[in-house]
Amino acid sequence: MKNRPIGVFDSGLGGLTVVKQIKKFLPHEDVVYLGDTARVPYGTRSKETIIKFSFEDANFLLKKNAKCIVIACNTASALAGKELEKELKTPVFDVISPTLKYARSVAKNNKIGVIGTRGTIGSGAYTVDFATPCPLFVPFIEEGNVDSEALKIIVKKYLSYFDGKNIDILILGCTHYPIIQNIIQKEIGKNVKLIDPGMAVAEELKYSLTKNGLLNGQKRSGKINYFVTDLTDRFTKVAEMFLGEKIKGRINKVSVD
Amino acid sequence: MKNRPIGVFDSGLGGLTVVKQIKKFLPHEDVVYLGDTARVPYGTRSKETIIKFSFEDANFLLKKNAKCIVIACNTASALAGKELEKELKTPVFDVISPTLKYARSVAKNNKIGVIGTRGTIGSGAYTVDFATPCPLFVPFIEEGNVDSEALKIIVKKYLSYFDGKNIDILILGCTHYPIIQNIIQKEIGKNVKLIDPGMAVAEELKYSLTKNGLLNGQKRSGKINYFVTDLTDRFTKVAEMFLGEKIKGRINKVSVD
């Protein structure tokens, strides 16, 4: 059991920022990653559709023998997390619960803000003081347009929502956002601490696997097995941006619907 | 036969700019519209996936008794148009062939440019002199962000590709783009004529239905029946932006996969 891989899914490739953190916290774990790139993004879709897609994604990972499922997508965590946790017999980790717990443990004046997709923010799953959607961040990041004047204008416009709200924590409630955290930090000011949910869920995962005797016992570094539902020429470029290193091994195209 | 509806599909709601033109050219025709909103956008996906989705969309419209199929999506026209025309027994109209024909008939110095999604431009289906992808236009337009400083910067950046190329025609090779044609026109200059493929395909459709005795004989105005694969709160707002008028009647959520 314990030497089985950790299953991680996301609507696309943004979840690789979570895998990056899992590799850091749990270097000996194998990972099987599914990116539903044929149907990305989830952030603009309805709850009903996101639940349907998320079950299909999770079931694929279970067939790949995952010992647990990490929902490396804030939108799917927000809109389908509870349903997956209830229905599946395998442990499910969403990115939101550990992030909220961590944010509350480090907040000074307890004024917490969150940014995310329309789906995530609209769901109210991040029960914090201030929340605002930033729907254009994902397309900019997916385009690799991460340092332009246009993006800076958009960042400024979206974050102006927090003006005068005196937050001390800002949760990056979308797995894409760590890629532009420097621009966000510059705009929101250095007194606001940014939290990457990938880090929070990786820490939670380490705690839980340790407690339950489910840490992988192998000595070698963990391997990542990549599956996507659509494969384009841009895969490697975009994936490596999120993972922060070269992709090793074969990328497998699969159907999950 | 002739009183059956015209079937129109698009990856999402952008195809309603084509429906708008069909209503103008063929006011007595009924239309059955399918927007594959659960899987929009198609513009960033692979040819294989776009062909699969397009067949599912077209087959849905055939079950709804469509007398012909209009592919109101440049990406699907570019990557799946030939396949649909070959396999289906019902007449298929893609948006690209009539647009190219029209563009060549009005070009003065015969220097034609086109802008579109990565999928459309990468396919080479628009066999013109100059082509460049504008991948961020769709997310901006879908957000209703159609008049911002950020968008103007993006428009300027993308269209700078045409600097010094002396085009006299620019094809708006994505059904979303007519929404921002004023900004595009201002940037590219008033000597460049913009062509909306919706207009070209509606004219072609009128010619073909007339020639084949397939015009709807009814006296009343045509009705539109809307189907989508996902339905969110934002549907009406976004749909009316593309259609240019109020949506009448019920919107039906369906599954096509």
> Residue B221: how many CA atoms within 13 Å on its side-chain side?
6
Task: Spell out a b/e string for A238-251, using b for 16 or more CB atoms within 10 Å of the CB, else e.
Answer: bbebbbeeeeeeee
Rounded Cα distance, B213 and B211, in Å? 6
**Which member of B45, B136, B149 has the closest CB to residue A140?**
B136
- Note whether A6-94+198-253 and A97-197 share their fold: yes
Across the range A64-69, mean pLDDT stands at 98
ipTM value greater than 0.90: yes
Write out chain A residues lying below 8 Å of B153, CB-based: 148-150, 153
Chain B nearest-CA residue for A257: B257
Q: Coil, strand, or helix at residue A239?
A: helix
Report whether pLDDT(B249) > 90.
no
Give the C-alpha distances (Å, rounded to integers) separating A225 from A19, A33, A74, A243, A247. Answer: 11, 6, 22, 13, 10
The answer to whether the CB atoms of A38 and B45 lie below 8 A apart is yes
Rounded Cα distance, B248 and B19, in Å? 14
pTM: 0.94
In this structure, what token pair is assigned to residue A248?
């090793």
Q: Is residue A103 within a helix (H) or strand (E), and if so which, with residue range?
A: helix A96-106
Report whether pLDDT(B110) > 90.
no
**Residue whose pair of structure tokens reads 């989508």 in the numeric block:** B228
Taking a C-beta distance cutoff of 8 angstroms, is the pair A56, A256 a contact? yes
Phi, psi for residue B4 in degrees, rounded to 5 = -75, 160
CA distance B193 to chain A (A): 27
Average pLDDT, chain A: 96
For the segment B4-21, what is each residue's pLDDT rounded down to a tens digit?
999 999 999 999 999 999
CA distance B231 to chain A (A): 6
Fold of B97-197: Rossmann fold (3.40.50)
Active site residues of A: 73, 174
- Domain extents for chain A? 6-94+198-253, 97-197
Write out chain B residues lying below 8 Å of A153, CB-based: 148-150, 153
How many CB atoms are closer than 10 A to CB A82? 14
Fold of B6-94+198-253: Rossmann fold (3.40.50)
For the segment B120-155, what is each residue's pLDDT rounded down to a tens digit?
999 999 999 999 999 999 999 999 999 999 999 999
Among B44, B54, B145, B233, the strongest candidate for a mutation testing the A interface, having the largest count of A CBs within 10 A, is B44
Report whether pLDDT(A216) > 90.
yes
Phi, psi for residue A120 in degrees, rounded to 5 = -60, -50
